Protein backbone atom coordinates (compact mmCIF):
# COMPACT_ATOMS: atom_id res chain seq x y z
CA UNK A 1 0.00 0.00 0.00
CA UNK A 2 1.41 3.36 -1.04
CA UNK A 3 1.57 5.94 1.74
CA UNK A 4 0.41 9.41 0.89
CA UNK A 5 2.51 12.25 2.24
CA UNK A 6 1.77 15.95 2.58
CA UNK A 7 3.44 17.84 -0.25
CA UNK A 8 4.38 20.64 2.18
CA UNK A 9 5.68 19.00 5.37
CA UNK A 10 6.00 15.34 4.38
CA UNK A 11 3.80 13.98 7.15
CA UNK A 12 1.34 11.16 6.53
CA UNK A 13 -2.10 12.21 5.29
CA UNK A 14 -5.37 10.54 6.11
CA UNK A 15 -7.05 11.60 2.87
CA UNK A 16 -5.05 10.57 -0.18
CA UNK A 17 -7.09 12.88 -2.43
CA UNK A 18 -5.80 15.99 -0.65
CA UNK A 19 -2.44 17.54 -1.46
CA UNK A 20 -1.79 18.69 2.13
CA UNK A 21 -2.23 17.22 5.60
CA UNK A 22 -4.94 18.80 7.75
CA UNK A 23 -2.54 21.22 9.46
CA UNK A 24 -0.87 22.41 6.25
CA UNK A 25 -4.23 22.57 4.49
CA UNK A 26 -5.52 24.92 7.17
CA UNK A 27 -2.38 27.05 6.89
CA UNK A 28 -2.76 27.20 3.09
CA UNK A 29 -6.41 28.18 3.47
CA UNK A 30 -5.50 30.95 5.93
CA UNK A 31 -2.78 32.20 3.59
CA UNK A 32 -5.23 32.37 0.68
CA UNK A 33 -7.78 34.22 2.82
CA UNK A 34 -5.16 36.83 3.79
CA UNK A 35 -3.87 37.10 0.23
CA UNK A 36 -7.37 37.70 -1.11
CA UNK A 37 -8.13 40.28 1.58
CA UNK A 38 -4.92 42.19 0.81
CA UNK A 39 -5.64 42.01 -2.92
CA UNK A 40 -9.08 43.55 -2.35
CA UNK A 41 -7.79 46.07 0.22
CA UNK A 42 -4.30 47.11 -0.94
CA UNK A 43 -3.87 49.98 1.54
CA UNK A 44 -4.67 47.89 4.61
CA UNK A 45 -2.34 47.17 7.52
CA UNK A 46 -1.64 43.97 9.44
CA UNK A 47 -3.97 44.88 12.31
CA UNK A 48 -6.88 45.46 9.93
CA UNK A 49 -6.12 42.16 8.16
CA UNK A 50 -6.15 40.34 11.51
CA UNK A 51 -9.40 41.99 12.60
CA UNK A 52 -11.18 41.32 9.31
CA UNK A 53 -9.99 37.73 8.81
CA UNK A 54 -10.20 36.64 12.44
CA UNK A 55 -6.61 35.38 12.41
CA UNK A 56 -4.08 36.24 15.08
CA UNK A 57 -1.84 39.19 14.32
CA UNK A 58 1.15 36.89 14.86
CA UNK A 59 -0.06 34.67 11.99
CA UNK A 60 -0.41 37.69 9.68
CA UNK A 61 3.07 38.86 10.66
CA UNK A 62 4.47 35.38 9.98
CA UNK A 63 3.05 35.49 6.45
CA UNK A 64 4.42 38.99 5.90
CA UNK A 65 7.88 38.28 7.33
CA UNK A 66 8.07 35.10 5.28
CA UNK A 67 7.81 37.21 2.15
CA UNK A 68 4.73 35.40 0.97
CA UNK A 69 3.17 38.54 -0.46
CA UNK A 70 6.25 40.02 -2.12
For residue 70, pLDDT over 90 is answered with no
| Low-confidence winner among 2-6, 10-14, 30-34, 62-66 (lowest mean pLDDT) | 2-6
| pLDDT for the residue numbered 60 | 93
Q: How many CA atoms lie within 13 A of 13 on its CB side?
A: 19
Global pTM value: 0.79
- Reply yes or no on whether the pLDDT at 1 is more than 60: no
Q: What 3-state DSSP class applies to 5?
A: strand
- DSSP per-residue string spanning 7-68: TTT--B-S-TTSSS-HHHHHHHHHHHHHHHHHHH-TT--HHHHHHHH---HHHHHHHHHTTT
- pLDDT by residue (tens digit) across 7-32? 889 888 877 778 899 999 999 999 99
Amino acid sequence: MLQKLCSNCGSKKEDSAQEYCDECGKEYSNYNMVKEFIRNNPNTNAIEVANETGLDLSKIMKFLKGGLFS
